[in-house]
Structure formats: C-alpha cells, structure tokens
Amino acid sequence: MMAGTSTVEVKCVKCGRIYETEAIDHIDLSQDRDLYRRIQRGKINRAQCPKCRKVMYLDRSVVINFEPLDLIVVYDQTAKSASARKEIEHQFRNVTSFNEVLEEIGNEVEFEVISDLKKLKKLMKDYTKTYG
C-alpha cells in the first residue's frame, strides 16, 4: 500500500460483488507524483469490479497538501452546496483544535473545499508551473 492510500471494501452497484480496492486519502503534491497524475487523468478514487468490470467512483474526500504553499485542499465531489463545504471546514477546524501543535498548523494554512474536478486540476496545474 502506498502512502496516502488505504484499502477499502466496495460493493459493485451492477453485480453486487464485494471486493477490495485502493482509495486515495491524502496527497502531498511535493512527493506523491503518481497520485498527482491519477487526479490529472480524472481517475481519482476510481474502482473497477473484477467480476463484471463496472467502473465506479468512490464517495470519499481527498486531502491535498500544496507544500510549500500554506494551502490544504479537500476535494469532495459531493460537497456542492455551501453548507456541505462549511461542514467539511468545521470538521477540519475541530481536528486542528485537538492540540496546540495542530491548532498552530491550522491557523497557518489556508483551507479550501473543492467539489469541481476542473477547478482542482487548474489549481494543480498552476502549482506545477511554479513548483515543478
């Protein structure tokens, strides 16, 4: 298993088979070039049933660290409404208030929730123009 990923169980919506697949949880753009390429190809948290070959996209958020920028982005394709994005930001603030070190980090970074893959790809493209 690669850093930034986890193994999850998926139930195929077509044939009902339960299988394991790899899900992207977080990406550090300064290190995770393979995961970066998967997002650019639109294959973020994509699973394919080994039995019937049905392709599905996992309903999961991905945390993206734009290091050395002080920017953390959560890509969540289901967070279309302002209230959904606000809830994710609230969860981030709850986690960062857990202890003094996390709170300091939380105060130093810009936090953004994105649900549009095109917007995320543009942000990542601009990042790579500057930081390689």
More confident residue, 45 or 107: 45
Residue 101: Cβ-neighbour burial (10 angstroms; 0-12, 13-18, 19+): exposed
What pLDDT shows up at residue 1? 38
Q: Is the pLDDT of residue 124 over 70?
A: yes
Average pLDDT score over residue span 80-98: 84
> pTM for the whole thing?
0.79
pLDDT more than 70, % of the chain: 94
Q: Are 27 and 61 in contact (CB under 8 A)?
A: no
pLDDT of residue 8: 96
